[in-house]
Amino acid sequence: MTSTLRALLGACAVSALSVAAQAETITVATVNNGDMIRMQGLMDDFKAKHPDIDVEWVTLEENVLRQRVTQDIATKGGQFDVMTIGTYEVPIWGERGWLVSLDDMPAAWDADDLLPAIRGGLTMDGHLYAAPFYGESSMVMYRKDLMEKAGLEMPEAPTWDFIAKAAAAMTDKDAEVYGICLRGKAGWGENMAFLTAMANSFGARWFDMDWKPQFDTEAWKTTLDTYLDLMNNYGPPGASGNGFNENLALFQTGKCGMWIDATVAASFVTNPKDSKVADQVGFALAPDAGKGKRGNWLWAWNLGIPAGTKHEAAAKTFVEWATSKEYTELVASKEGWANVPPGTRTSLYENPEYQKAAPFAKMTLDSINAADPQNPTVDPVPYVGVQFVAIPEFQGIGTAVGQQFSAALAGQVSAEQALQSAQSLTEREMKKAGYYK
């Protein structure tokens, strides 16, 4: 009897120990991009440092991920312990108390090393709500050979007038070379990301300080006219369906003279494995119109922790590892400095090895620094965000306005009609949402 009791007690102790030794599992929701996939391949390092934490990944396409994590955090579904979210979501979710504050990250993580523009976009009322994993702005990528053939030299900080002149000179439609490629596909993160940033440089804004839509202003008219003029005269055919990937394919196959888009594209177009024009690509800041703001945006993919997660401490440990300087060094040691996630830390841009490996580093940093999400426009605005307005209604409104502008590019409506429709639909939605009567 005694031996049976002993055996039972022993079994209980062993099972209790095995439960205690069992690793805590966190679920990380993320997007499918090169940097995130690379991190998944480096999990051995995390596991070696934190054997008590297992990480399960849910990788989804950007739009599916956005819908999925929004639904989960809004309903407190508890499916994810770490979420990859953009600079659009962070201020909105932070304000609502949906995210765990990261103010208490250890000193070694060095929050002061984060690029000020990026940190500013992730901070609400003085609290940091997400850790940036990778940041980007937009800039001009151009073909040096075509520019030289046209007898022009790209300035480091071009104007829209120069871009139009260069686009005209580089276009050779018979040879299927188009002077400029820009986003035309409708969507708040597609053509409206580009057009909102472009509008900032022309002195336009989405709303005035009373939240009244501003599409009936001269500044928006100039913006849309310039965009349509560029694309209709010097852009590729069917541009109203072109997003990042379509333009990347056009540029890589030598069909674009200039392309203004995300700085992350620099590593793709300069990669000789995928790009026919890899050795002929130059970079410049996004254009301006002499009004003090450039037409570049600011975006970062960040790691946020949903409030109410049962694994907050483990989630923080993971976020700290993934967004640390040590992680950058780990990527550099395994895959080279050109492959480290860019756009988040000052120290990276001060690193001579990175400067040497990434010829686009300076332009990326200058572009990021040129964007100010807290003061994105020439005239004051009541919102945060450079190429978006950080309010929950913006996804719907931005896409609806994007459809109007895409229709104008396709020639289905005039620029004037598109602006009128944009004005009326935005007014209607903002009134309905209670921003004004």
- Tally the residues of the chain: 437
Residues 232-291 that bind another protein (CB under 8 A): 243-245, 248-249, 252-253, 255, 262, 264, 268, 273-275
Least distance (Å) between residue 3 CB and another protein: 40
Nearer residue to another protein within complex by CB, 29 or 128: 29
Which range of residues in 64-72, 86-94, 362-370, 381-389 is near another protein by CB under 8 A? 64-72
Nearer residue to another protein within complex by CB, 253 or 417: 253
Nearer residue to another protein within complex by CB, 271 or 374: 271
Least distance (Å) between residue 128 CB and another protein: 25
**Nearest CA to 184 among 416, 417, 407?**
407
Nearer residue to another protein within complex by CB, 292 or 308: 308
Task: Give dist(CA 323, CA 108) in Å, integer.
Answer: 12
Least distance (Å) between residue 244 CB and another protein: 5
**Binding test (CB under 8 A) with another protein, winner from 52, 56, 148, 218:** 56
Cβ–Cβ < 8 Å for 236, 250: yes
Kindly report the backbone phi and psi dihedral angles of residue 270, in degrees, each rounded to the nearest multiple of 5, phi listed first. Answer: -100, 5
**Nearest CA to 327 among 93, 92, 35, 79?**
35
Least distance (Å) between residue 303 CB and another protein: 16
Cβ–Cβ < 8 Å for 145, 109: no
Task: Give dist(CA 208, CA 435) in Å, integer.
Answer: 12
Nearer residue to another protein within complex by CB, 56 or 350: 56
Q: CB neighbours of 167 closer than 8 A, spacing ≥ 6?
A: 179, 180, 230, 233, 234, 257, 258
* Residue 64 interacts with another protein (CB under 8 A): yes or no: yes
Least distance (Å) between residue 27 CB and another protein: 5
Q: CB neighbours of 258 closer than 8 A, spacing ≥ 6?
A: 140, 141, 142, 143, 163, 166, 167, 170, 179, 180, 181
* Residue 32 interacts with another protein (CB under 8 A): yes or no: yes
Least distance (Å) between residue 368 CB and another protein: 16
Least distance (Å) between residue 181 CB and another protein: 14
**Binding test (CB under 8 A) with another protein, winner from 50, 59, 110, 111:** 59
Nearer residue to another protein within complex by CB, 31 or 230: 31
Give the DSSP per-residue string, 262-316. ETTHHHHHT-TTT-TTGGGEEEEEPPB-SSS-BS--EEEEEEE-BTT-TTHHHHH
* Residue 211 interacts with another protein (CB under 8 A): yes or no: no
Nearer residue to another protein within complex by CB, 133 or 215: 133
Task: Give dist(CA 295, CA 254) in Å, integer.
Answer: 24
Sign of CA dihedral 55, 61, 63, 64: negative
Give the DSSP per-residue string, 378-412. SS--SS--SSS--STTHHHHHHHHHHHHHHHHTTS
**Binding test (CB under 8 A) with another protein, winner from 6, 49, 76, 428:** 76
Which range of residues in 45-53, 56-64, 219-227, 329-337 is near another protein by CB under 8 A? 56-64
**Binding test (CB under 8 A) with another protein, winner from 43, 47, 57, 420:** 57
Cβ–Cβ < 8 Å for 404, 229: no
**Nearest CA to 131 among 341, 278, 425, 290?**
341
Residues 151-190 that bind another protein (CB under 8 A): 189
Least distance (Å) between residue 8 CB and another protein: 31
**Binding test (CB under 8 A) with another protein, winner from 79, 222, 339, 369:** 79
* Neighbouring C-beta atoms of residue 330, cutoff 10 Å: 17
Residues 301-360 that bind another protein (CB under 8 A): none
The contact set with another protein (CB under 8 A) reads 27, 29, 31-34, 37, 40-41, 56-64, 68, 71, 75-80, 189, 243-245, 248-249, 252-253, 255, 262, 264, 268, 273-275
